[in-house]
Amino acid sequence: MAVGGRFGPLIGAIDEGTSSARFLVFAANTGEVLTYHQVEILQHCPREGWVEQDPMDILSAVRDCMDKAVDNLHKLDIDPADIKAIGITNQRESTIIWDPKSGKPLNNAILWLDVRTTDTVDQVLAQVRDHNQNYLKPLCGLPVSTYFSALKVRWLMDNVPQVKQAMKEKSCYFGTVDTWLIWVIF
């Protein structure tokens, strides 16, 4: 790693969680947190068991956190150019489908704890011997459950006309929140 300023090389970390986003800057050599900023993100529950976030709110919060942390680095007389890498953590199975040209989301993010796919889970498991919830686990590491992003995509294809049309036209991408953030930020 490059030497950097008085703290040596720095590492940035985007931590996009269920209720907030944070951007932290660490000294790579010591692990010391030099600065961070955090912004709360509103959740929407349009129906019982449904939990969503507006991806643009997520993006705005992440950008705000990054901007404020960089401002803090300047105030501390630390050169932001010393940030040599940025890592990202996120809500894991929270799901977004977006237009690859514009980066614009086609749906609110369906969060990991949303249970709208319960019927889809039941339909899938009805086709599996012994209704074995873990039959896909060796392939993907997850049981078949409402947590699983693939079932959220199926639900979106079946219930959101804009997503259904984009799928038909092969004009959309799917990913978890980290994937979409990387697509639109970097």
Rounded-to-integer distance, Cα 109 and Cα 116, Å: 13
Torsion of CA 93, 103, 38, 27, to 10 degrees: 90
Q: Which of 11, 102, 16 is nearest to 61 (CA)?
A: 16
Q: If you average pLDDT over residues 129-133, what whole number do you get?
A: 92
What band does 154 get if pLDDT is binned at 50, 70 and 90? very high
Q: What is the pLDDT of residue 2?
A: 55
SS3 content of the chain, % helix, strand, coil (to 5): 35, 25, 40
**First and final C-alpha spacing in the chain:** 21
pTM over 0.85: yes
Q: Does pLDDT of 79 surpass 80?
A: yes
Q: Give the three-state DSSP class for 95.
A: strand
Q: What is the pLDDT of residue 10?
A: 98
Q: Does pLDDT of 124 surpass 80?
A: yes
95-45-155 Cα angle (round to 5): 40
Torsion of CA 159, 163, 169, 174, to 10 degrees: -120
Q: What is the pLDDT of residue 3?
A: 67
Q: What is the pLDDT of residue 178?
A: 97
Q: If you average pLDDT over residues 5-16, what whole number do you get?
A: 96
Q: What is the pLDDT of residue 4?
A: 74
Q: If you average pLDDT over residues 82-98, what whole number do you get?
A: 96
Residue 172: count other Cβ atoms within 10 Å of its Cβ.
21
Q: What is the pLDDT of residue 92?
A: 87
Structural domains in the chain?
A: 1-89 (3.30.420.40), 93-176 (no CATH)
